[in-house]
Amino acid sequence: MPAEINKLTIVKEHSRQEIFFCLARVPNSSRLFMGASDGKVYEVDPLAEKPEFKPHDGHSSFVTGVAIAGEFIISGSYDGKLIWRKIDGGEIVRTVEAAHTRWIRKVVASPDGKRVVSVADDMVARVWDAETGNRLHELRGHDELTPNHFPSMLYTCAVSPDGRALATGDRVGQIIVWDLASGSQLHKLSAPGFYTWDEKQRIHSIGGIRSLAFSPDSKTLVAGGIGRIGNIDHLDGPARVEVFDWEKGEKLHEFSGEGKGLIEHLVFDHEGRWLAGLGGDNGGLIQFYKVADKKVVRSDKAPMHIHAAVLDEAGDRLFACGHGRVVVWELA
């Protein structure tokens, strides 16, 4: 696992017609499940000599959340459904038809695989038993409307590596940290620098917390998105990352101005020495940060706008998906 990212090499790149919004990797393998714009979940090994993109049906609209918990892959979609299917074979074993009343934006699993969390634009986070599908908690705390009286959106969530905390982030830059076991609210953080209100051109807001990640020691919470936007039609704003000591409720640092576009996904290396932020505007962006040093250490273009990424166990291979492509990088 590299301590510094001196070399970033694409070892596999696959072009597709679909937009891939999310991915989950089967542990200790290169086997991926990815949610797509055509309403399917695709299964593929991008490192195979002749990769086969195997589709799994079940959703009626684009799939924007997937998570692996035990023997299941759980997917969430714009259609409001959550679907449990077997990792091996793809058989659907459970469908929750109205898991949310609006667009499910993200699905994540707890590190032990016993809990699954979904967040949606109904501004609710729900915690589910991964084995039975029973709903354990319904977490409400995010405002349903923006300060300008438009519907808000609950874009993202993350569970801490120690399994204790759940963080959720919305359109106006509000972050709530919850106790995953009890469902109680632990802290509320504010990051208004992620929110832009356009009162002239489009008369609506843009931005929001698009990605969240806890450091490996679970003490630091990082949020990603976009800073103040000039031209909202082109995501014309600086990529933005803010770092918090969430237990103290304190903002520690912000990275802004290095690269343009949304930071759609955040990935810590397994020892917490560096952090990758991935996303982009009309093109793709991948940046590396040293949180302790409070600086961007590398900024590169990516072959596509990236929506999701995952680091393998060795920490030297990064899998990513997005607009029309799946890419695998080797890090050195």
- Res. 148 pLDDT band, cuts 50 70 90: confident
- C-alpha 19/C-alpha 37 separation (Å) is 5
Supply the pLDDT for residue 196. 86
Beta-bridged to residue 255, according to DSSP, are: 241
Residue 216 neighbours by CB distance under 10 Å: 16
- C-alpha 106/C-alpha 103 separation (Å) is 9
Q: Find the length of the chain.
A: 332
Please state the pTM of the whole predicted model: 0.96
10 Å CB burial of residue 307 (0-12, 13-18, 19+) is: buried
- Res. 203 pLDDT band, cuts 50 70 90: low
Contacts of 309 (CB under 8 A, 6+ apart): 23, 265, 267, 276, 278, 318, 319, 320, 321
Supply the pLDDT for residue 204. 61
Domain ranges of the chain: 8-331
- For 8-331, CATH gives 2.130.10.10
Tokens, residue 2:
């590299």
Residue 202 has pLDDT above 70, yes or no: no
- C-alpha 66/C-alpha 286 separation (Å) is 22
Q: Which residue has the tokens 């998570």?
A: 67
Residue 62 has pLDDT above 70, yes or no: yes
Residue 259 has pLDDT above 90, yes or no: no
Residue 226 neighbours by CB distance under 10 Å: 28
If you average pLDDT over residues 67-81, what whole number do you get? Answer: 98
- Res. 258 pLDDT band, cuts 50 70 90: confident
Q: What is the pLDDT of residues 264-297, one digit of tens each?
A: 999 999 999 999 999 999 899 999 999 889 999 9
Q: What is the pLDDT of residues 149-170, one digit of tens each?
A: 889 999 999 999 999 999 999 9
| Average pLDDT of every residue of the chain | 95
If you average pLDDT over residues 73-83, what whole number do you get? Answer: 98
Among residues 292, 325, 291, the alpha carbon closest in space to that of 308 is found at 325
Residue 217 has pLDDT above 70, yes or no: yes
What type of residue sits at position 205? S
